[in-house]
Structure 1
Amino acid sequence: MTGSTGPDEFDDVNEAVGAEWEDETTPYERIRDVISRVHTPVSTDAVADTARTSPKTARKHLNTLADEGFVTTDTGENGGTTYRRSPESLVVEQAADIREHVSTEELITRVSEMREHISDFQAEYGVESPEELLVERTNQTLSEAAATHDDLDPETLQEWQTTRRNLAFANAALSIATAERFVGDESRPNGSTLAQ
């Protein structure tokens, strides 16, 4: 087989891409990029290795990102500090993305539709959340070993959970839009509603 790429050639390509990334970015930018994709706690050494920097530099920038609220810190199994992307920064990022791509009017319509969809789930299954539905069905299964009941469709649960999550992000985006409007009002001379 001629023309096949061997493992060494892939290593060379990966190294070249990594070296280019290192040349074109600062350690802070690389560390922020690495941690932006981390949702489980990681050590300073792991971040430093991936970001192509020293553990000391990584720790300094991770602490800065923690002060900024971009990451949260935890204590790892061995007592060392671990870092992960903060849930708050994820919500703000997602809400900002929604605001960029969806008008406020369209967002209000979508929020209303998602609320109706969730209400339909609640009415159909007689519970407030997909988690309660799972508990209820598990309890039914345990108490009625021989009884027949409808199997719970995993796609329905997933749809309910996804709709609920999307509604939370949409509500966050609407809240940001409202806050931005008030900030805009306050920045105008004599525009404060409290002063009137």
Structure 2
Amino acid sequence: MNDRSPPDAFDDVNEAVGAEWEAETTPYERIRHVIAHTYDFVTAATVAEDARTAPKTARKHLNTLVDEGFVTTTSGEHGGAVFRRSPESLVVEQAADILDHYSSDELVTRVTELRDRLTDLQGEFGVDSPEELAVEQTNQTLSPDTSTRDEIDPETVRKWKRLRRNLAFANAALSIENAERFVDGDHNVADDSLPA
């Protein structure tokens, strides 16, 4: 026989954490946090629910974030506005993270390595991109001549796409670093000295 008593009733942990988050942050901060992790278009009401605020408040702050370039918007299925994190803000965030972890010299070396690996893949498969590789694979599958059919590992395609994405982010980081260096180092450049 078991003489243990049943456990005490407990509050919903998610609700407790949500209430604490709501108490410690402003609606703007919660909305920015929610939309920072939103990559598909959603309504202001959806953001409001996740951010524990009213749809009208969410819409107001989302429009502010659109003006700041952090969010992009379009018309939804029924004509209302829908929102998601802007690709530009994602690129800048990723580039800033890279700059926090790598020096300029390390980035240049990394860019060279990534370019070399992409060139190797292009040479190995005789196409310029993973999308062309997929088309080539489909054409081979549909071809009546099965002797030329080579099975391409899906992981190779994913790897190629990752390499290309990483190269784009590394290049963006270098571009931002160069632009910041120009801005920080050339305070005395006259506007008329810039090319038109």
SS at match of 1:84: strand
Aligned to 1:38: 38
Equivalent position amino acid for 2:152 in 1 = L
2:70 corresponds to 1:70: yes
1:146 Cα offset (Å):
3.9
Equivalent position amino acid for 1:66 in 2 = V
Aligned to 1:179: 179
Which segments of structure 1 move beyond 6 Å, counting only runs of 4 or more?
Answer: 1-6
For residues 94-137 of structure 1, the C-alpha deviation after alignment (integer angstroms, 9 at most, x for no partner) is 00000011111000000000000000001111110000010011
Identity %, equivalent residues: 63
1:191 Cα offset (Å):
6.1
Contact 1:31 1:62 in 2 (8 A): yes
Contact 1:185 1:191 in 2 (8 A): no
1:41 Cα offset (Å):
0.4
Equivalent residue pairs, number: 191
1:45 Cα offset (Å):
0.5
Q: 1:146, 1:181 → 2: CA distance?
A: 56
Q: 1:4, 1:109 → 2: CA distance?
A: 61
Equivalent position amino acid for 1:49 in 2 = E
Q: Which 5+ residue runs of structure 1 have no aligned equivalent?
A: none
Q: 2:6, 2:101 → 1: CA distance?
A: 43
Moved more, 138-147 or 149-158: 138-147
Q: CA RMSD in A?
A: 2.3
Change (3 A) 1:141 1:78: same
Q: Which 5+ residue runs of structure 2 have no aligned equivalent?
A: none
TM-score, L = length of structure 2: 0.90
Q: 2:142, 2:21 → 1: CA distance?
A: 55
Aligned to 2:140: 140
Equivalences for residues 29-178 of structure 1 within 5 A: 29-144=29-144, 146-147=146-147, 149-178=149-178
TM-score, L = length of structure 1: 0.90
Q: 1:176, 1:5 → 2: CA distance?
A: 56
SS at match of 2:151: coil
1:160 Cα offset (Å):
0.7
Aligned to 1:21: 21
1:5 Cα offset (Å):
8.0
Change (3 A) 1:88 1:126: same
Equivalent position amino acid for 2:121 in 1 = F
Q: 2:5, 2:68 → 1: CA distance?
A: 49
Equivalent position amino acid for 1:153 in 2 = D
Equivalent position amino acid for 2:22 in 1 = E
